[in-house]
Amino acid sequence: QVQLVESGGGLVQAGDSLTLSCAASGRTLSNYGMGWFRQAPGKDREFVAAISRTGGRTSYADSVKGRFTISLDNARTTVYLQMNSLKPEDTAVYYCAADFQWLPHRATLDPSEYDYWGQGTQVTVSP
């Protein structure tokens, strides 16, 4: 069982930056590919970014490419989402998720492949 706890959300203005953190409780994430997803009111949950368990491969949604960066800490206990040049359309609840993974370089976009999810953190970007 992996417990994931997100933090770092908040209210910012358009153009600002924010970094979200997702910490694994009691274990490392060495065997897990990690992903960030988001869900805006009235919309389906959508993929944002993913990173392989080795950190060697990353994937991004087109809407955030060049603005967001996903990364792992050296201890493999925390995954980050650095968000720059935020836009009002980035407003959503952001969730991190863990995908138990043998493959070292798999960073999946499919939410159904993720095994564990955090509770979410709200990000609100004002115009």
Q: Which residue, 94, 82, 81, 101, is CA-closest to 122?
A: 94
Q: What is the pLDDT of residue 100?
A: 92
Is 107 within 8 Å of 72 (Cβ atoms)?
Answer: no
The pLDDT profile of the chain, 127 residues, written as one tens digit per residue, is 889 999 999 999 999 999 999 999 878 889 999 999 999 999 999 999 999 999 999 999 999 999 999 999 988 899 999 999 999 999 999 999 999 988 888 899 999 999 999 999 999 999 9
Q: What is the pLDDT of residue 61?
A: 98
Q: What is the pLDDT of residue 105?
A: 87
Backbone phi, psi, residue 9, to 5°: -70, 170
In this structure, the chain runs to a length of: 127
Q: What is the pLDDT of residue 69?
A: 98
